Amino acid sequence: MSRLKESIPGQSDIYDSWIMLRDAQGSPELEKGVVHADIHPGNVVVSEDGDLKGVIDFDDCYYGSILFDLSIAAMSFSFESACKPNWNRAAKVVHAYEDERSKVDYRLLYWSMIVNCFRFYVYTVPLTLQDGFEAKENPYFKRAHFLMDRHIFDAYSKRLERDS
């Protein structure tokens, strides 16, 4: 892991959040189950009426903390671009989950989004470089930095908290 930390100079916050979430994933308090690990609009089948019919593409799935999947879904369905979230959409995804399962730790969910940005960055940076761009131009790199802003976290937290 030290090589990983060295490979992203100046990005120790991303590395540290990866370690924190990795350790939290093993926590007995977090609900476990089958994790799809790639939930996004292209892997969701819906009817013409917009009803969910299924999910496809299970080649990344594993057994683990389902918080990981929830963070991917919340992020995938709420970001309109690398640094433009629609927290109302994220709230709908998360609240629908909570209505069916259990209360979510919003802070851990948020850190999981950052960790997933790092994970997707690792997968996609070769394409970014191949296209002639610098690694810092990768959309997941940009999103991770965007999400690490305290004001962004505050806006996210405020929107996800349910009215009492």
Structural domains of the chain in order of their starting residue, each with its CATH number: 2-160 (3.90.1200.10)
Task: Determine the pLDDT at residue 115.
Answer: 84
User: How high is the pLDDT of residue 23?
Assistant: 61
Which segments in the chain show pLDDT lower than 50? 1-2, 4, 7-9, 164
Output the CA–CA distances (angstroms, integers) from residue 88 to 42, 61, 92, 114, in the order listed.
Answer: 20, 27, 6, 18
The reported pLDDT for the residue numbered 164 is: 43
* 152 sits in which H/E element: helix 150-160
The rounded distance, in Å, linking the Cα atoms of 100 and 103 is 9
pLDDT for position 112: 87
**How far from 155 is each of 88, 94, 98, 147, 149, CA to CA, in Å?**
11, 15, 20, 11, 10
Beta bridge partners of 45: 54
Confidence (pTM): 0.80
Report the pLDDT value the prediction gives residue 129, as an integer from 0 to 100: 94
